[in-house]
Amino acid sequence: MRLLDEEHIGDIAVGAAILGSGGGSDPYIGLLMAREAIRQYGPIELYTLDELDDDDLIVPAAGMGAPTVIVEKLPAGDDLVRAFHALGKYTGRKPRATMSIESGGMNSIRPIYLAARLGIPVVDCDGMGRAFPEIQMTVLTANGISASPFAMSDERGNVLLIDAVSNQWVEVFARSCVMDMGAVGAIALYAATVKQLKEGAIRGTITLAEEIGNTARNARRREANPIDAIRRAVGGFLAFRGKVTDVDRRVSGGFAKGSARMAGSGRFAGQTLMLYFQNEHLVLRIDGEYVTTTPDLIAALDAETGEPITTEALRYGMRVAVIAFPCAPQWRAPAALKLVCPRYFGYDVDYVPVEERLGE
């Protein structure tokens, strides 16, 4: 167990936004919430799975909806507390701790905020090692952990519980209801024992996010090249560098979908990148050729500062460096891959690991 203070949270937010592959919402909103909570309630305990009892119940907490809307409707936090308590009540067990369901600017921080408010620990693991747009898109699903019971609440105080026959059905009902809520809701889901998570979750993702965020911060402080420092920290590749020339974005069915076009510069001069996203960055094509696809990770970074750019923040004229890096190895097992492969999202291409596409 170690304690997380305000500085740690800042690094986690930045690092998680890079792992979030453009999703999980703007890190600064979650950061403000969590910093305020820590100031009010004190530092948070971060546990590894090995430090907990196998029978302890862990209940992940997150936000759900279109990031475009989440940016416009700052969450108050009570919705998250309500969803978490509703799930605990439904299971009839007291949760020992909370955790992230995904790595992302907002959804890595929201559990920390919740932990501060409720005086419970956070566990150093998550269900994706990145962010994905749909509920069932976790390695937990592939490992037989149920997203049900699923609890959702909104700013008005509405509470929903879903106990569905599959994690895909949870997604169906939750997506309809989050649209009814105004495209943003707070959720608790995938309640699992420590024993289940030891086999089913991706470990150490909070610490990984913190290391990446710390690397980026130190590079800026040393006036070193932050892009290269981040690229090395994530073990990835510089996939592209250039300027955004067009962004096509729409909110559809509860998702922010679209694409961005970029004109290359430096060693990418004359090349055109297409970045396709659905809440998260999913696919990169350069001059029509696939360069990286889901579930490998894509981080669009401000070319100067290295700050991660979420899908909803992409704008015409931005100068961007695009880093691609390997997903958590659990995603490459067939049962997991079929949940998030390019064809699931409608792209007519098979998954090829990014290191085979971009490695030397």
Residue ranges in 71-110 that form contacts with a second copy under rule CB under 8 A = 86, 90
Cα–Cα separations (whole angstroms), residue 130 to 54, 227, 235, 284, 321: 25, 19, 14, 16, 19
Contacts of residue 231, defined as CB under 8 A and 6 or more positions apart, other chains included, come to 237, 238, 323, 325
Count of residues that bind a second copy according to CB under 8 A: 19
Candidate list 158, 207, 245, 271; residue touching a second copy; CB under 8 A: 158
* Side chain identity at residue 99, one-letter code: M
Q: Give the shortest CB-144-to-a second copy separation in angstroms.
A: 17
Taking CB under 8 A as the rule, does residue 168 contact a second copy?
A: no
- Please state whether the peptide bond connecting residue 295 to the residue before it is cis, i.e. omega within 30 degrees of 0: yes
Sole window of 7-15, 52-60, 139-147, 168-176 interacting with a second copy (rule: CB under 8 A): 168-176
**Choice between 91 and 265, CB closer to a second copy:** 91
**Choice between 6 and 163, CB closer to a second copy:** 163
Taking CB under 8 A as the rule, does residue 161 contact a second copy?
A: yes
Q: What values do phi and psi take at 200, rounded to 5?
A: -105, -15
Taking CB under 8 A as the rule, does residue 251 contact a second copy?
A: no
**Choice between 181 and 212, CB closer to a second copy:** 181
238 three-state secondary structure:
strand
Taking CB under 8 A as the rule, does residue 304 contact a second copy?
A: no
Candidate list 32, 179, 274, 358; residue touching a second copy; CB under 8 A: 179
**Choice between 162 and 219, CB closer to a second copy:** 162
- What is the C-alpha to C-alpha distance for residues 284 and 293, in angstroms, rounded to an integer? 6
Dihedral class, residue 73 (left if φ above 0, else alpha if ψ from -120 to 50, else beta): beta
Sole window of 138-146, 163-171, 281-289, 300-308 interacting with a second copy (rule: CB under 8 A): 163-171
* Side chain identity at residue 311, one-letter code: T
Candidate list 3, 74, 176, 343; residue touching a second copy; CB under 8 A: 176
Taking CB under 8 A as the rule, does residue 177 contact a second copy?
A: yes
Q: Give the shortest CB-93-to-a second copy separation in angstroms.
A: 14
CB 254 within 8 A of CB 179: yes
Sole window of 1-9, 155-163, 216-224, 251-259 interacting with a second copy (rule: CB under 8 A): 155-163
Which H or E run contains 197? helix 194-200
What strands lie across the sheet with 255-264, from one edge to the other? 289-293, 280-286, 272-278, 255-264, 237-252, 319-325, 297-302
The secondary structure of residue 70, as a DSSP letter, is H
Taking CB under 8 A as the rule, does residue 341 contact a second copy?
A: no
Candidate list 52, 59, 147, 164; residue touching a second copy; CB under 8 A: 164
Sole window of 160-168, 209-217, 284-292, 312-320 interacting with a second copy (rule: CB under 8 A): 160-168
The secondary structure of residue 263, as a DSSP letter, is E
* Side chain identity at residue 333, one-letter code: A
Candidate list 5, 7, 180, 246; residue touching a second copy; CB under 8 A: 180
Q: Give the shortest CB-154-to-a second copy separation in angstroms.
A: 9
288 three-state secondary structure:
coil
- What is the C-alpha to C-alpha distance for residues 211 and 202, in angstroms, rounded to an integer? 16
Nearest C-alpha neighbor of 29 from the set 288, 339, 312, 270: 312
Taking CB under 8 A as the rule, does residue 173 contact a second copy?
A: yes
Taking CB under 8 A as the rule, does residue 163 contact a second copy?
A: yes
**Choice between 179 and 251, CB closer to a second copy:** 179
Q: Give the shortest CB-75-to-a second copy separation in angstroms.
A: 17
- What is the C-alpha to C-alpha distance for residues 195 and 173, in angstroms, rounded to an integer? 28
Contact footprint for a second copy (CB under 8 A): 86, 90, 156-165, 169, 172-173, 176-177, 179-180
